[in-house]
Structure 1
Amino acid sequence: MVHRLERLVIRHTLRLPCPTGPAGQGDVMARQFDAALMSVGFKLSADALKRLSGLSGGTVLDTAVRTLDTVCEMVGDHVRHNVYFKDFPANVPDTFEFWMRCVTEALEDDKARPGVLAQLRSGVIDLLTLPSYGTYRHTYDEMLTAHDELTAAVGDRLTVLHLGGPLDDEVGALYLALAGSTTPLGDEHLADLGVLAGHCADGPQPEAIPVRENRAVVNAARLKAGSTLLLDTVTDVLRLACALSGGDVSLQEPTRFRALSRSARRALLAGLDSVVTAAPAKVADVLTHREAFKRLGERLHPHEYPQWPGAAEVFAVARGEKKAYTFDGRVEALLGADDVAGAAELLGSAPGRLFRALDRLLRSASTQEERDAVVAAAEQVVGQVSGRVVLSVREYLHNRDQETGRRRVFINRAGRAHVVDDTRAAVPQADRERLIAALDAEIGRRLPSPERLLVDPDVLGVALPLSGRATAAGLGVLPRGSVSPVDGELLRFFVYWKQKQRITDYDLSALLLDARYDTVSWLSYTNLTEVEGEHSGDITNAPDGASEFINLRLGAVRATYIVPQVNIFSGEGFEETEESFFGFMLREGEQRGRPFEARTVRMKSELRGPGRVALPLAFRRAEDGSWHARWLHLYLKGSPSYNRVEGSQASVATLLRGIVEREQLTVGYLTGLMANGGTQVASWDAGSVPDVPVTYIGLERPEGLHPDSVVITPENLRDLIPE
């Protein structure tokens, strides 16, 4: 468990919990550890190196083994990345030439020849039936001997591991940060919170847990530890039941409730009773998830516990045996009577719901007087709305100018996306601007006012993480909609997957689009070479894991957009495989090395979405020739099988256009508000590190900052979101 907790701290914070052990002369071993880290793109901070140097060699060695194991997995270097074409990116053949070679080799194979001849007579060849197609023809070690050592370059990634405090302190701080997050966490972080909550159940707790999903995970740990539960709605109890059953605490997917212990059933029923007794009107929330409550009632047996009548009432409402009048029903009744002002007034008692209904209310209003009433209601309660909702509505209104031909992009919590034409009536410009001004003023009021703020310019284009589900788990990953610079001459994508039970074929492709989103070309197993680059070859079975690569020379790219994608041709989905991840590397000029070199990896993200086509990010060339990445984290439904880049060109282009045309709220937006509020904002200068505490916002934590400084990096970017 200690090793697992240490891994969580390193992954989430890039901090090495302060090693403990007997004192000694560990300086030589510490330098060797540092060199090993640098070979995979990491490095010890000066403080961490100094601390390790004063410990025994055995302590340093144990720390090194655990840490290297963690960082190698973070960057994708914990597996062997082989390629079909041993010399890739050199000597990749023309696609047709390669296919003919496979046919020729099959005809020379006595076992395969009859089947191939029969296919030739029919005029159609199935590549998957050719013995030399789709499987590695050489070992990993043989591939390594075909490549020179990587030449070090200034642009190679070097991620610093800073020295942290004692492990228990680091674990406690990480738990408080995740549990108290003002934004929902992604699935992996939610699972990590569950581990931390179990370990920290008896320790310090956050002052508030505003996100309901986080609260459910914490409650599950508190229930097992015998601690008091944090419940204030009947839906909190339903989410807790889902957590105990290993289900979806967001309630987006149905949960199959497990048989629960008597103590768990008593705790859930007592929780329902206490909520309903304290606020009888809250029983109406049952109607939103009526079927789930009915199924839960079958597991809890409320009739066995007459001492909790409030719980029995919950399930009576779910079964339709007792009437309950919902807040939403009252709102709908007012709107049905064309009483927009009345609906706005009623929604004012539930500020979050009012803000989510603003667009509809403004469109439903028939007079300026009614629109004024809606805007006034929002202005009156904006101080009671969570910061995440205020920012979400602010971003929404910024993109709600109703230009002709605009598209609406819908993205669900799992990253599934689709685009439709926006046919809604316009929101009057004056009302929109009045609301935006009110929201800006409120957000500015809630932001901290540090005496001195230092900002790395590269972080200004990073989108605010209004939901952890808009960011995939991994290294160097930024929230959906973020824009970050790409520095390098060679861009190389990679995908790795390892099937669990069925033969599984993933295909890495890159679609190249012009400024009008029309297809210029693509690289895939059907088009191995192009002016822009090369594909490493198609692998069609991955019992021991498989990798595919695409190498691109950015100076030769004839397109405006590069859109890498991972298509499932057959077999297990992204959420079914034992492991699957995507990433990209950047290299300088003719910098050689193996197809996969850990210290050139700029980003590695897990592939764990519901669709059959993954779109992790896209690259765009600016007018000055520079390239930038725009982060997508999207999944297309695709077909059950045989997905190819040729079949998804139109849908990918449409989706990309909708994403690119939508403007996100970024770190630059918040720092602009802080500057307007009187904060002194300066660009970060690595050559001039202040010796006083500062607030720093950047892509990486720099060395040398005063220990009392507040540091915001992508690992804790959610801390920027005001409550």
Structure 2
Amino acid sequence: MDHAIERLVVRHTRRLPVPAGPAGDGAGAARQLDTALMSVGFKLSAGLHEALSGLTEETVLATAARTLDAVRELAGDHVRHNAYFKDFPAGVPDTQDFWARCVAEALADPAARRTVAERLRTGVLNLLDLPSYGTYRHTYEEMLAAHDELIAAAGDRVTVLHPGRPLDEESTALYLALAGSTTPLGDDHLRDLAVLAAHHAHGPGPGEIPVREVRAVVNRARLAAGADPLLDTVTDVLRLACALADGDVTLREPTRFRALSRPVRRALLGGLDAVVAAGPAKLADVSAHREAWKRLGERLHPHEYPRWPHAAEVFAVARGEKAAPSFDSRLEELLGRGDVTGAAALLAPAPGRLLRALDRLLRTAGSPEELDAVVTACERVLPGVSGRVVLSLREHLRNRTGEGGEHRVFVNRTGGAWVTADTRPPLPDAVRERLCAALDAETRRRLPAPGRLLVDPAALDVALPLGGRATADGLGVLPRGSVSPVEGDLLRFFTYWKQTSRSTDYDLSTLVLDADHQTVAWLSYTALNAVEGTHSGDVTDAPEGASEFIDLRLGTVRGTYVVPQVNIYSGEGFEEVEESFFGFMLRDAEQKGRPFEPRTVRMKSDLRGPGRVALPLAFERDDDGRWHARWLHLYLKGSPAANRVEENRVSVAVLLRGLLARTPLTVRHLVDLMAAEAVPATEWDGTTVPDGPVTYIGLERPADLPPGSRVFTPENLRDLIPASLLRSSRARP
């Protein structure tokens, strides 16, 4: 268990807990570890090298093996990446010539000749009928032998590992940070939190757990440890029941509840009874998940526990035997009568709901008096709203200028995306400006006094992670909407997947669009070569794992946008396969090496989402010819089978156009608010060491920051999102 916890700490914090052990001369082993780490793009900081050097060689070597495993997985180097054409990027034939060769080989194969000949007579040939198509024709070792060693370049990625505190302290801090997150966590982070919560169930807990699905994960661990769960709404109980059944704590998907032991039933019913007894109005939340409550009631048997009558009321509401009008139904009734002022008053006790309904209330208001009543109600409730909702509304208002407005892009909590026409009328400028000023003032009050603020300019255009699926687990991954520069001659995409139980074919493709989002070219298994670059070849089955690559020579790209994508042609979805991920590498023109070289990996993200087409990010060339990555983390529904870049290029172009029209809220917004009342922010030049504690915001943690400094990097950027002013212990008076 300790080794698994240590891996979590390294992955989430880029810190290695210094192991406890006898003093000794581990300098030689530490140098060996540093050299091995550099081969995969990592390095020990001077402080970590010194700490390890003071331990025995045996201790350092044992730590080295675990650390190498952890960072190789981060970079995607824990699996074997074989290319279909072993000489890739050299030796990739013309697509038509390659297909003709496969046909000729099939006609020479007695086992396949008859089937292929019959297909040819019909004029339609399935490539999968050709024995030599889609499966590796060489071993991984033969592919390695076909490539020279990688030539080291100054631009190769170096991710520094810093010394951490003892493992128990590091894991406690990570647990408290995840449990106390002010923004929803992705599925991977929720799974990691479950491991940490079980490990720390008897230790200190977070002062508050503002995100409900996070609370469910923690409550499951508390219940298993014999502690009372933390419950203050009826939906908290439902989420906990889902967690106990290994179901969906976000309540997006139905959960199949299992039989529960009597102690667990008593804990759930007793907690439910206490919640309703303390606030009978909370019964209004039941109708939002009526069917789930009915299924849960079949497992809890509330009729067997007459001492908890308030819990029984929950199931009576779910069955329709007791009336408990929901907020939504009462809101619709008021708006149906045109009573906007009454609707705002109704929502005022639920500040989060008021802010989420604000745009609709403003559009419905029929007079200046009603507009003023809605805005005033919003201003009054702001201190009780979570920081994520405050910033989400601020981002929404930034994009409600009435300019453009041709398309409206929706992205749900799972990363699913779709586009529709935007038929909303613009909001009055005066109203929008008043609300933006109120939201900025509220955010400024909650932000901690930063003292001396040190900022890496590269972090200013990183979008704030306001949703759980705004980012993905991996290396070098930034939240959706972030923009980062791309510097290099050769851009290489890669994807890897390993099927679980049935044949699965993923297709790496890329679409090149012009400035008007019209198709210029694409690279895929149907177009192995183009002016822009080369595809490594199609692999159609992955029982042992499979990889595909695309090389792009940025200087030859004829378009303005490059949109890589992973299409599921057949088989298991992204959430069904044993493993799947996407990433990109950057190389100089003279660098050789294998198709996959971890030192050149700039980004690697897990592919875990709905839909059959993954859009991890897009690349955009500006007016000066410089390339930038724009992070998407999106999934299109696609077709059940045979998804191809040629078929979805129009929908991808429309989606990209809509996304580019939106301006996300970035780190720059919070830096400007913090700097308004503090020492002006100083740009980090990468070399100057400050002489006192600082608040540092950047893409990576610098070495040798003074003690007492606070550091925010993409790994913990969510900690910048302030909590509710009424609950936050970080806010200034």
TM category (shorter chain) comes to over 0.9
Aligned to 1:670: 670
Aligned to 1:702: 702
Q: What do residues 631-680 of structure 1 show as CA deviations (whole Å, max 9, x unaligned)?
A: 00000111110010000000000111111111000001111111222332
For the pair 1:52 / 2:67, whether they are aligned, the reply is no
State whether residues 450 and 678 of structure 2, in contact with CA within 8 Å, keep that contact through their aligned partners in structure 1. no
State whether residues 84 and 537 of structure 1, in contact with CA within 8 Å, keep that contact through their aligned partners in structure 2. yes
Determine the C-alpha separation between the residues in 2 that align with 1:288 and 1:542: 42
CA shift at 1:154, angstroms? Answer: 0.7
Determine the C-alpha separation between the residues in 2 that align with 1:336 and 1:642: 46
Moved more, 348-357 or 171-180: 348-357
> 1:613 is aligned with what amino acid?
V
Aligned to 2:208: 208
For the pair 1:448 / 2:453, whether they are aligned, the reply is no
What is the DSSP-based 3-state SS (H/G/I as helix, E as strand, rest coil) of the residue aligned with 2:543? coil
Determine the C-alpha separation between the residues in 1 that align with 2:398 and 2:51: 49
CA shift at 1:461, angstroms? Answer: 0.6
What is the DSSP-based 3-state SS (H/G/I as helix, E as strand, rest coil) of the residue aligned with 1:648? helix
Determine the C-alpha separation between the residues in 2 that align with 1:467 and 1:346: 27
CA shift at 1:538, angstroms? Answer: 0.3
> 1:74 is aligned with what amino acid?
L
Which runs of 5 or more residues in structure 1 are unaligned?
none
Determine the C-alpha separation between the residues in 2 that align with 1:424 and 1:51: 60
Determine the C-alpha separation between the residues in 2 that align with 1:676 and 1:661: 28
Determine the C-alpha separation between the residues in 2 that align with 1:94 and 1:137: 18
What is the DSSP-based 3-state SS (H/G/I as helix, E as strand, rest coil) of the residue aligned with 2:418? strand
State whether residues 454 and 696 of structure 2, in contact with CA within 8 Å, keep that contact through their aligned partners in structure 1. yes
State whether residues 13 and 715 of structure 2, in contact with CA within 8 Å, keep that contact through their aligned partners in structure 1. yes
Aligned to 1:613: 613
Aligned to 1:160: 160
CA shift at 1:22, angstroms? Answer: 1.9
CA shift at 1:215, angstroms? Answer: 0.5
For the pair 1:339 / 2:360, whether they are aligned, the reply is no
Determine the C-alpha separation between the residues in 2 that align with 1:678 and 1:285: 43
Determine the C-alpha separation between the residues in 2 that align with 1:164 and 1:187: 26
Moved more, 325-334 or 352-361: 325-334
| Aligned residue runs from structure 1 range 151-550, under 5 A | 151-550=151-550
> 2:329 is aligned with what amino acid?
G
State whether residues 617 and 631 of structure 1, in contact with CA within 8 Å, keep that contact through their aligned partners in structure 2. yes
> 2:701 is aligned with what amino acid?
R
Determine the C-alpha separation between the residues in 1 that align with 2:402 and 2:550: 39
Determine the C-alpha separation between the residues in 1 that align with 2:678 and 2:380: 25
What is the DSSP-based 3-state SS (H/G/I as helix, E as strand, rest coil) of the residue aligned with 1:67? helix
Determine the C-alpha separation between the residues in 1 that align with 2:430 and 2:629: 34
CA shift at 1:687, angstroms? Answer: 2.1
Determine the C-alpha separation between the residues in 2 that align with 1:326 and 1:506: 44
CA shift at 1:123, angstroms? Answer: 1.6
Go from structure 1 to structure 2 and tell me whether the alpha carbon gap of 1:306 and 1:423 turns closer, same or farther (over 3 Å shift).
same
State whether residues 449 and 679 of structure 1, in contact with CA within 8 Å, keep that contact through their aligned partners in structure 2. no
What is the DSSP-based 3-state SS (H/G/I as helix, E as strand, rest coil) of the residue aligned with 2:569? strand
Aligned to 1:560: 560
> 1:629 is aligned with what amino acid?
A
Moved more, 401-410 or 161-170: 401-410
> 2:586 is aligned with what amino acid?
L
Moved more, 642-651 or 284-293: 284-293
Determine the C-alpha separation between the residues in 2 that align with 1:682 and 1:636: 41
Determine the C-alpha separation between the residues in 2 that align with 1:708 and 1:276: 44
Determine the C-alpha separation between the residues in 2 that align with 1:514 and 1:59: 56
CA shift at 1:346, angstroms? Answer: 2.4
> 2:489 is aligned with what amino acid?
E
Q: What do residues 265-315 of structure 1 show as CA deviations (whole Å, max 9, x unaligned)?
A: 110000011011111111121111111111100000011111111111111
State whether residues 620 and 628 of structure 2, in contact with CA within 8 Å, keep that contact through their aligned partners in structure 1. yes
CA shift at 1:339, angstroms? Answer: 1.2
Give the TM-score normalised by the residue count of structure 2. 0.98
Determine the C-alpha separation between the residues in 1 that align with 2:103 and 2:279: 74
State whether residues 484 and 629 of structure 2, in contact with CA within 8 Å, keep that contact through their aligned partners in structure 1. yes
State whether residues 499 and 543 of structure 1, in contact with CA within 8 Å, keep that contact through their aligned partners in structure 2. yes
Report % sequence identity: 71
Aligned to 2:731: none
Determine the C-alpha separation between the residues in 2 that align with 1:166 and 1:448: 27
Determine the C-alpha separation between the residues in 2 that align with 1:373 and 1:190: 40
Moved more, 446-455 or 553-562: 446-455
What is the DSSP-based 3-state SS (H/G/I as helix, E as strand, rest coil) of the residue aligned with 2:7? helix
What is the DSSP-based 3-state SS (H/G/I as helix, E as strand, rest coil) of the residue aligned with 1:250? coil
Aligned to 1:623: 623
Q: What do residues 457-480 of structure 1 show as CA deviations (whole Å, max 9, x unaligned)?
A: 000010001112211111111111
Determine the C-alpha separation between the residues in 2 that align with 1:505 and 1:229: 44
CA shift at 1:167, angstroms? Answer: 0.4
Aligned to 1:119: 119
Determine the C-alpha separation between the residues in 1 that align with 2:537 and 2:327: 58
Determine the C-alpha separation between the residues in 2 that align with 1:381 and 1:330: 20
CA shift at 1:350, angstroms? Answer: 1.8
> 1:286 is aligned with what amino acid?
V
Determine the C-alpha separation between the residues in 1 that align with 2:688 and 2:357: 48
Q: What do residues 478-537 of structure 1 show as CA deviations (whole Å, max 9, x unaligned)?
A: 111111111111100000011111111100000000110000000000000111110000
Determine the C-alpha separation between the residues in 2 that align with 1:302 and 1:448: 46
Aligned to 1:644: 644
State whether residues 562 and 620 of structure 2, in contact with CA within 8 Å, keep that contact through their aligned partners in structure 1. yes
Aligned to 2:728: none
What is the DSSP-based 3-state SS (H/G/I as helix, E as strand, rest coil) of the residue aligned with 2:22? coil
CA shift at 1:349, angstroms? Answer: 2.1
> 2:610 is aligned with what amino acid?
P
Aligned to 1:23: 23
Aligned to 2:726: none
Determine the C-alpha separation between the residues in 1 that align with 2:443 and 2:691: 30
Q: What do residues 685-717 of structure 1 show as CA deviations (whole Å, max 9, x unaligned)?
A: 222111211110000001111121100000000
> 1:668 is aligned with what amino acid?
R
Q: What do residues 126-169 of structure 1 show as CA deviations (whole Å, max 9, x unaligned)?
A: 11111111111111111111101000001101101100000000
CA shift at 1:110, angstroms? Answer: 2.0
Q: What do residues 547-581 of structure 1 show as CA deviations (whole Å, max 9, x unaligned)?
A: 00000000111110000000011111111111111
CA shift at 1:325, angstroms? Answer: 2.6
Give the TM-score normalised by the residue count of structure 1. 0.99
Determine the C-alpha separation between the residues in 1 that align with 2:253 and 2:545: 30
> 2:579 is aligned with what amino acid?
E
Aligned to 2:582: 582
State whether residues 179 and 209 of structure 2, in contact with CA within 8 Å, keep that contact through their aligned partners in structure 1. yes
CA shift at 1:426, angstroms? Answer: 2.1
Moved more, 110-119 or 561-570: 110-119
Which runs of 5 or more residues in structure 2 are unaligned?
724-733
Aligned to 2:600: 600
Moved more, 378-387 or 286-295: 378-387
CA shift at 1:405, angstroms? Answer: 4.4
Moved more, 78-87 or 679-688: 679-688
Q: What do residues 385-416 of structure 1 show as CA deviations (whole Å, max 9, x unaligned)?
A: 11110100000011112234421111111111
Determine the C-alpha separation between the residues in 2 that align with 1:95 and 1:223: 59
Moved more, 110-119 or 601-610: 110-119
> 2:369 is aligned with what amino acid?
E
What is the DSSP-based 3-state SS (H/G/I as helix, E as strand, rest coil) of the residue aligned with 2:540? coil
Determine the C-alpha separation between the residues in 2 that align with 1:431 and 1:571: 51
For the pair 1:660 / 2:663, whether they are aligned, the reply is no
What is the DSSP-based 3-state SS (H/G/I as helix, E as strand, rest coil) of the residue aligned with 2:23? coil
Determine the C-alpha separation between the residues in 1 that align with 2:110 and 2:297: 65
State whether residues 507 and 524 of structure 1, in contact with CA within 8 Å, keep that contact through their aligned partners in structure 2. yes
State whether residues 452 and 678 of structure 2, in contact with CA within 8 Å, keep that contact through their aligned partners in structure 1. no
Determine the C-alpha separation between the residues in 1 that align with 2:481 and 2:217: 28
State whether residues 469 and 633 of structure 2, in contact with CA within 8 Å, keep that contact through their aligned partners in structure 1. no
State whether residues 567 and 613 of structure 2, in contact with CA within 8 Å, keep that contact through their aligned partners in structure 1. yes
State whether residues 451 and 680 of structure 1, in contact with CA within 8 Å, keep that contact through their aligned partners in structure 2. no
